[in-house]
Amino acid sequence: MTEISKPNYLARAKKLSKDEAERLFSRMTGKLPRRLEKDKLSKVEALAIQLEIEDEMLQEWRENMRAVREKDQTKAERTAGKSAKAKEKAAEKAAKAKQRAAEKAAREKDKAARAKQKAAEKAAKAKQKEAEKAAKAKQKAAAKAAKEKEKAAKAKQKAAAKTAAAKKPAAKKPAAKKAAVKKPAARKLAVRKPAASKPAASKPAPSADPSTTPSTEPSGN
């Protein structure tokens, strides 16, 4: 910036109102107010210089703000990118968690189904076993009842036979006496066997029956 401002700033300074000129004077800093006091510059030239300074400052501020906005925009884009990546990552994580939960639920459902089937099979086996046990018990009871019935029938038959035998009169037994009569003859035959082996001239064998042999004793007569 030169000491004498550009012509367009001099024209703008001349068009300023008194109030606007005073505001510019109040904002002057550095060497400019002292040069104005020493009459090295006119008021119009000082106002033109101040306008140029403020325009330069405004331009610099705008550039700074543009840089800040660009920086903020880049940061926002980075943040948005990071947020998008984080969001995508979270979505993937949620999808994986959902899939794991679904697989776990499927496994639990399958496990419950197998447990239910196993319980049903166990109950069916227990029921079949109870039925077989009941059938065996029934068969055993029927066999026992049949044996008891048969035993009762035999006891009844035996009692009936005993009753019939008690009512029938006793029969005579003559055969026993006849056998008793025949016993001496058998004894006689047993004694005669050794006598048959001796010579005829030998002494006659005594008779087993005293009634059939003559007495050798002298008579009393």
Note the pTM of the prediction, 2 decimals.
0.37
Using the predicted structure, report yes or no on whether residue 3 has a pLDDT greater than 50. yes
User: For residue range 150-170, what is the model confidence (pLDDT) as tens digits?
Assistant: 999 999 998 988 888 888 765
Does the pLDDT at position 47 exceed 70? yes
pLDDT band at residue 114 using 50, 70 and 90 as cut-offs: very high
pLDDT at site 204: 52
Q: What is the DSSP string of the chain?
A: --SSPPHHHHHHHHT--HHHHHHHHHH--TTHHHHHHTTSS-HHHHHHHHHHHHHHHHHHHHHHHHHHHHHHHHHHHHHHHHHHHHHHHHHHHHHHHHHHHHHHHHHHHHHHHHHHHHHHHHHHHHHHHHHHHHHHHHHHHHHHHHHHHHHHHHHHHHHHHHHHHHHSPPPP-THHHHHHHHHHHHHHHHHHHHHTTS-TTSPPPPPS-TTTSPP-SPP--
